Structure 1
Amino acid sequence: MSASKLRLLSWIAIVGGIFLAGNQQSQAADNVERSTSWHQWRGPNANGVSETATPPLSWSENKNIRWKKPIEGLGNATPIVWGDKLFVLTAVDTRRVDPSKPAPADQPERSFGIVFPNTYYQFVVLCLDRSTGEEIWEKVVAERVPNEGHHGDNSFASCSPFIDGEHIYCWFGSQGLYCLDLDGNLLWEKDLGPVETRRSFGEGTSPVAHDGRLIINRDHEGQSSIIVLDAATGEEIWTRDRDELSSWATPLIVEKDGIVQVIVNAANRVRSYNLDDGSIVWECGGQVSNVTPSPVTDGEFVYCMSGYRGSSAMAISLDSKGDVTGTDQIAWQLSQGTPYVPSPILYDGLLYFTQSNNAILTCVDPKSGDVLLERTRVPDVRAFYGSPVAAQGRIYLTGRDGETVVIKADSEFEVLATNQLDDHFDSSAVLVEDAIYLRGKENLYCIGE
């Protein structure tokens, strides 16, 4: 081989080594950033757990409150944290009337007193300094009259955003999908059209992203579908119709044996889609209606639950293929004590969940399904909508009336602290470093010693 070719190969090897090292350093930095942030619904690993956070044990309105900020409008989306920035979505009623829409008094009577708006709402992304609560920027991504109303416990901003390190994907359901950079510049937007949810309860499924692809699940009373978009451009990669009615569970991304599975919990079937092409990897029946809890996984099984007008929990092998309903690919099933709105949490080898929206807790061995703590009353709490979170050997359970009960992560029930705030909480808590972020109906709290 000539000297010039040797020099060329050496140069290629050096450049390639630098490129690889740079990629490895970038990936390492990204992993560190993700481990100390809360970049999606349910946190770093989509299971409600932070392996690095050191949150406080106790607080009140006059103890361990670093800052408290009123948030205009209404939203149940969980705050999202990346680095020193916190992002929160809200929908603000401008009170500006669209004369083409019927006034609430002129509308037919609907379940739960739900009315369809006849005023324009601003759909807002807020970026705050997570240390101080000071506003860094605010972006109104749209101003529209929503196509339907929502249940009194829901909002027009209930889908938590997703951050991939450079972009934030904000999904306001029928009011549009918006991609911004972390400085608040709108990069692209996409209108996927309106949906009609069961009894006009409203929307609430959060977006997820993986390897440059953005996944949106849209189960409703019309033609349901799952849609995968190019995260950089918003262009559609594939879409698949779904035989489902309204559901509110966020998809779970799991990589198993070289296949990236998109697992969606729903009433007719739990389905696993191949992220590459949308083909069905496996599916399983057995859930009940109005499915809301998001699945969690330990890398071997996925744990799916529902708890409205019935009760179902099951552990499904990630090695499954085809329709596994009623087969031994289901390691175990339970038919009582499962959640309606809150998602389960898998922490330190134990699986915890609440009964319906009630303050009743169950703990099971996820490998065997053996019930270790059976339907135990959580004291001083009326109801849960927010999902449990965990760190430092503790589980944090935030009730709707402002209380957070902290228990020891153990099959023996032990309350470590009970904390009270003067707000109403339907969003899930966020744990980052030494702080807890709690979004109430009126205020956003940063709690830390």
Structure 2
Amino acid sequence: LIIHENKLLVQYDQSGKKSLMAFDVNSGNLMWETIRPVSISWASPVITEFNGIIQVILTAEPYVISYDVNTGRELWSIECMSGEVGPSVSVNSRYVFAVNDFAVLVAINPAEPASIVWADNEYTPDISSPVATEELVFVLTSWGGVACYDTETGNLVWDHEFDYGFFASPIVAGNNVYMLDQAGVMHVVKAEREFQLVADSPLGERTVCTPAFSERKIYIRSEEHLYCISE
């Protein structure tokens, strides 16, 4: 689910009919629905702007597809995914980054016509979504591997292996990347071209949910508690 202005957008890629639906947030009325030629997906929609158009981008086998957020009209699609997709896409000002285990990590240029800029299959998360800055894209795997790629070339900049894997997606805040592993340890590294560990902060219980950042506070849902962490 994601909200844009007066629309609640629902990616329904489950058994049976696959579609993207937009509901009026005030009335609940269906505003539009677009049928999708895809398989089951667990990813979430992402809203961004490319080429002067507000777009909602979805990923599921076999396509990454962009739609006009106001009408549901398909803008572009790239065939590059396989399996039951878990990670959502990430974007910067130039590219869309999509990945799934048993598939590839791809950088997509959404210009007309959309095209794949580069692809790599060394680090492919099955749950955690990537996160991108203008220069770097970060991916976290469920077995503990973390990789940083150059957004323009797809070259591996650095990689590192932690003791526990990641289901939560990474978050970039300031010049740091926050990575919460399944054991409940928040690993903080610099969002730079060299691996620099800033901190390891154990929460003390298992976590699988992506933390939320708002107004200099971090919200973390663990197995037993909801935490709010601030300065």
Q: TM-score range by the shorter chain?
A: over 0.9
CA-based RMSD: 1.6
The CA distance in 2 between the partners of 1:209 and 1:448, in whole Å, is 27
Shift of 1:277: 2.3
- Which blocks of at least 5 consecutive residues in structure 2 are unaligned? none
TM score, norm. by length of structure 1: 0.49
Q: Is residue 140–residue 169 contact of structure 2 (8 Å, CA) maintained in 1?
A: no
**Alpha-carbon spacing, 1:315–1:394, altered in 2? closer, same or farther (3 Å):** same
Local SS of the residue matching 1:265: strand
1:433 aligns with 2:201: no
Q: What are the Cα deviations for residues 370-395 of structure 1, in whole angstroms up to 9, with x where unaligned?
A: 21114x212xx311111111223221
| 1:35-56 deviation digits (Å, cap 9, x = unpaired) | xxxxxxxxxxxxxxxxxxxxxx
Evaluate the alpha carbon distance shift between residue 411 and residue 311 of structure 1 in structure 2; reply closer, same or farther with a 3 A threshold: farther
C-alpha deviations, 1:170-225, integer Å up to 9, x for none? xxxxxxxxxxxxxxxxxxxxxxxxxxxxxxxxxxxxx1122322210011121111
What's the counterpart of residue 147 of structure 2? 362
Following the alignment from structure 2 to structure 1, what is the Cα–Cα distance between the partners of residues 50 and 214?
Answer: 28
Task: Report if aligned partners of 1:342, 1:384 keep a CA contact under 8 Å in 2.
Answer: yes
2:176 to 394, 410, 431: 394
Once the two structures are superposed, the pairs formed by residues 114-129 of structure 1 within 5 Å of their partners are none
Aligned counterpart, 1:448: 230
**Counterpart selection for 1:312 from 98, 104, 111:** 104
1:354: Cα distance to partner? 1.6
| One-letter identity of the residue aligned with 1:350 | L
- Give the greater-gyration-radius structure (CA): 1
Superposed, 1:197-276 pairs within 5 Å as 207-276=1-70
The within-5 A match list for 1:147-226 is: 207-226=1-20
**Paired residue for 2:196?**
414
Distance 1:276 1:340, change over 3 A: same
Identity %: 28
- Residues 186 and 202, structure 2, Cα contact 8 Å, conserved in 1: yes
Which residue in the other structure is 1:278 paired with?
72
Instruction: State the AA in 1 paired with 2:138.
Output: Y
Structure with the higher fraction of residues in helix conformation: 1
| Stretches (4+) displaced over 6 A | none
Asked if structure 1 preserves the Cα contact closer than 8 Å seen for 2:80 and 2:103, the reply is no
Q: Is the 8 A contact 1:401 1:423 kept in 2?
A: yes
Question: For 1:301 and 1:391, how far apart are their aligned partners in 2?
Answer: 20
Query: Counterparts of 1:17-96 in structure 2 under 5 Å?
Result: none
**Kept in 2: contact 1:222–1:245 (CA 8 A):** no
**Structure 1 counterpart of 2:131:** 345
User: Whose strand proportion is higher, 1 or 2?
Assistant: 2
Q: Which of 391, 404, 422 is the aligned partner of 2:186?
A: 404
Q: Following TM superposition, by how much is the alpha carbon of 1:348 offset from its aligned partner in structure 2, in angstroms?
A: 5.5
Q: Which has the higher contact order (CA 8 A, sep 6+)?
A: 1
Q: Is the 8 A contact 2:23 2:29 kept in 1?
A: yes
What CA deviation, in whole Å up to 9, does each residue of 1:247-267 have, x standing for no partner? Answer: 111111122233222110111
Give the drift of 1:298: 1.3
Once the two structures are TM-superposed, the CA of residue 304 in structure 1 deviates from its matched residue by 1.0
**For structure 1, which runs of at least 5 residues remain unmatched after alignment?**
1-206
3-state SS of 2:99 partner: strand
